Structure 1
Amino acid sequence: MASGTIIVVDDEPKIRDLVRTYLEREGYQVFDTEAGMTLSGSCSGSIPILLCSTSDCPTYRGRR
Structure 2
Amino acid sequence: MIASLFHAPLGDGEAAVGVGTVGSSEAIMLAGLAFKRNWQNKMKALGKPTDKPNIVTGANVQVRENIWR
TM-score by length of 1: 0.31
Answer 1 or 2: higher relative contact order, Cα 8 Å, separation at least 6. Answer: 1
| Structure number with higher strand proportion | 1
Q: Please say which structure displays the higher CA radius of gyration.
A: 2
The structure with the largest helix share of the pair is 2
